[in-house]
Structure 1
């Protein structure tokens, strides 16, 4: 089968590799669509970060480079391993793409398995990936979805789960006002979750195209250009002088973090969603004087079922966020190049490893 293989920084190759064997307790999946994530771009430009090197195997998967990329994907079950009796061949599924130690409790009540030692992701640290035509995944990480949700939209459930977990971490509730700093893919999908839960959303974003996307998709009630307006003053007007209840930092940019701190009401909650490559110059005194709750969030934990329900119920429409579809051969030139150099023009570019659906 064809697969996109990460060898090293700047070195991704489309190759023919053996199809995976479906072991007991695993599910064989024919991949329909796989999204290109910012993490994939980071590996390509600056890696290996999550990906293993050629001589250092990942502690859990045991794999070294090259590895198959892709962790935002949907597909159709084409084989069931021994002992898997609650799913059916032909069923549509998405994958919660974790690589986690067997000793970790990943049951339905767990709130921290995503923070376990050496946690990593399918499609980054081994065990196949969504940028291959087929994959075999442990039953625990396979989530069925309704046929009413198209498989291209289903490929966005993984990043949407990131937004769901961030919103859950914030404690936001219906009637609150939230400010989202940055309208890239995760900012937009976080806003989508907020709107679905009945929360007023203010987006702060430099790009006019991204502001337009936030408004036309209905995930933002207000989309502000911080070069044209004082975001803090605008939030004060919107909230009757109170300030926002919650804020989400989705850029890893210092001025955005500072703005969100100022836009929050006293005792508000600030959630940092983005990955920061450098140390922040954070105003800890302001946090103390406003009694702000500062919370980190990473990935998701038992978030997929609730996220899937939001999509299946029609409360979130993912189709407007799909801005391109390509084949595997165009991964770097049409996919990565667009998202690295012309990222304002795209939200999610989906890849069909088999070429079907293009």
Structure 2
């Protein structure tokens, strides 16, 4: 099989590798679509480079079709179309027993080396346990199925926010996850949605998805805009989707008294938070990672049109052109949001 193997930051060798065989309880999947995630980009850079080292086959946002099943597999067969949950979990540790598979103490992520080298889906075939797959609705393409992970992240953030009808949401960062969050905030009954990004194209899409106010921090003061839209009080729920020290500072300062900052963005290993507004406004910060058992609901909501992912898929390349996919994401003029690779 063909596989894209990292040789250096943003550089890949297309190698011939032996296709895996499904072990007991596993299925072998012919990968048809795999997305390049923002974490893949950050994982090649200084703060996260250990997560995407040379020798790794990356890729965790994937969909494909089953071509073989291992011993003991029931309910799945060759030809079934599936989307993958890339966070491999054990099912028996303390977190898994509590229903938190995304926090599995023994868990690893496909296409990452954060805990151990775990090859991902930037290849023609991958074998995974059946607990990691979800059936694709018939009307969803493989490209749409490959959006499960980032849509699931946005879904999980929203579920943990405990927001209420009429809340004001501030979405900092309108990449793929942020743009889904805008849609979910509207579905959740937001009273107002403010979206922040430096890309005019992404802000225009955020407006299309339901943002009432869009703010470009290169030309406008974010905190002033938030105060203007909230009678000076701030946002009830701030969704931090960027992960930089400056954006986390903005998130805390933009939250209202007893407001909530949902922390998902991760582009730097450490950030410094302004302690005065955090303490004196009793702001709550909630950490988020991955998604739990929301997968089937997420796919159903994409299938019935409540979540629209098609405008987010801006670029597609064959596996041999994976470097062009990264170049598109790194080129601010390309307006790339989600790049899909076809192995």
Q: TM-score, normalised by structure 2?
A: 0.89
- Structure 1 pair 296/74, CA: closer, same or farther in 2 (3 Å)? same
Cα deviation for residue 278 of structure 1 reads: 4.6
Structure 1 pair 141–219 and aligned structure 2 pair: CA distance change class (3 A)? farther
Residue 65 of structure 2 is matched in structure 1 by 76
User: Residue 95 of structure 1 is aligned with which of 84, 88, 99?
Assistant: 84
Residue 120 of structure 1 deviates from its aligned partner by: 2.2
Q: Which residue of 2 aligns with 1:209?
A: 201
> Against the structure 1 CA distance between its residues 229 and 337, is the aligned structure 2 distance closer, same or farther, given a 3 Å change threshold?
closer
Distance 1:20 1:76, change over 3 A: same
Give how far 1:104 is off: 2.3
Residue aligning to 1:59: none
Counterpart pick for 1:115 among 103, 113, 117:
103
Q: Report the CA distance shift for 1:8/1:175 in structure 2 as closer, same or farther (over 3 A).
A: same
Instruction: Sort the Cα spacing of 1:66 and 1:118 in 2 relative to 1 into closer, same or farther, 3 A.
Output: farther
State the distance in 2 between where 1:221 and 1:130 align. 37
Partner of 1:21: 21
Counterpart in 1 of 2:3?
3
Equivalent residue of 1:68, what SS? coil
Query: Per-residue deviation at 1:198?
Result: 2.7
- Corresponding residue of 2:144: 153
Match of 1:60 in 2: none
Cα 1:176–1:70, aligned 2, differ >3 Å: closer, same or farther?
A: same
Query: Quick one: distance in 2 between partners of 1:343 and 1:173?
Result: 37
Q: Is the 8 A contact 2:249 2:272 kept in 1?
A: no
**What is aligned with 1:50?**
51
**1:167 maps onto 2:158 in alignment:** yes
State how far apart, in whole Å, the 2-side matches of 1:98 and 1:279 are: 23
What secondary structure, in the 3-state scheme, does the structure 2 residue paired with 1:172 have?
coil
Q: Is 2:339 aligned against 1:349? A: yes
> Which 5+ residue runs of structure 1 have no aligned equivalent?
54-64, 354-358
Partners of 1:105 and 1:265 lie apart in 2 by: 35
- Corresponding residue of 1:331: 322
- The 3-state SS of whatever aligns with 1:337 is helix
CA distance 1:352–1:10, change in 2 (3 Å) = closer
The C-alpha deviation readout for 1:167-199, integer Å capped at 9, x for no partner, is 122112332210011112222222232223232
Query: What is the CA–CA distance in structure 2 between the aligned matches of 1:6 and 1:181, rounded to whole Å?
Result: 31
State the distance in 1 between where 2:139 and 2:148 align.
14
Q: Give CA-to-partner distance per residue, 1:177-236, whole Å, 9 cap, x none.
A: 1001111222222223222323232101222122122223x1423211234444334333
Measure how far apart 1:276 and its partner are.
4.3
Q: Secondary structure at the match of 2:79?
A: coil
CA distance in 2, matches of 1:236, 1:37: 32
1:269-314 deviation line (CA, Å, top 9, x unaligned)? 0111111425323111211111110111122222323322321232
Deviation at 1:322, TM superposition (A): 0.3
User: Structure 1-normalised TM-score?
Assistant: 0.86
| Cα distance in 1 for residues equivalent to 2:94 and 2:30 | 28
Q: What is residue 288 of structure 1 aligned with on the other side?
A: 279
How has the CA–CA distance of structure 1 residues 4 and 221 changed in structure 2, closer, same or farther, with 3 Å as cutoff?
same
Q: Could you tell me how far 1:75 is from its partner in structure 2?
A: 0.9
- Give the Å deviation of 1:43: 3.4
Equivalent residues of 1:98, 1:122 under 8 A apart: yes
SS, match of residue 49 in structure 1: helix
Q: Counterparts of 2:153 and 2:333 in 1: how far apart (Å)?
A: 20
